[in-house]
Amino acid sequence: MGKIWPVQDAKARFSELIRAAKTEPQKVTLRGEEAAFVLSPEEYHRLTRFVQGPQKTAKPKTLADVLLNCPVVPEFELPPRRRELMRKIDFD
């Protein structure tokens, strides 16, 4: 991990922050808490390649696409479906 930058230092020395991010990610803090990370374009694309896939133009995914591409969990089985009749309800 690169240098930790308080937000006021990051604002005052933004160009230096960007140059440092080319070699390794830089952490920006706000009141001592992590607020942001600045990454090189290469690192950003490496990290988001998994999310967007190899194609250059990412189209919106449908629910069917997401479900079809879910990881397979072999030890997971749904319980058998119960074939009972529905209950009768009196509305009187």
**Residue 34: beta bridge partners?**
29
Does 31 or 81 have the greater pLDDT score?
A: 31
DSSP 20-38: HHTTS-EEEEETTEEEEEE
How many CB atoms are closer than 10 A to CB 10?
A: 22
Q: Across residues 29-47, what is the average pLDDT?
A: 92
Q: What is the three-class DSSP state of 44? A: helix
Describe the strand order of the beta sheet including 4-6 as a list of residue ranges: 4-6, 26-30, 33-38
Residue 12 pLDDT = 96
Q: Which residue has the higher pLDDT, 92 or 4?
A: 4
pLDDT at 31 (0 to 100) = 94
Domains of the chain, with CATH numbers? 4-68 (3.40.1620.10)
Is the predicted pLDDT of residue 58 greater than 70, yes or no?
no
Confidence class of residue 57 from pLDDT cuts 50, 70 and 90?
low
Separation CA 2–CA 23 (nearest Å): 8
Confidence of residue 39 (pLDDT cuts 50, 70, 90): very high
pLDDT given at position 87: 80
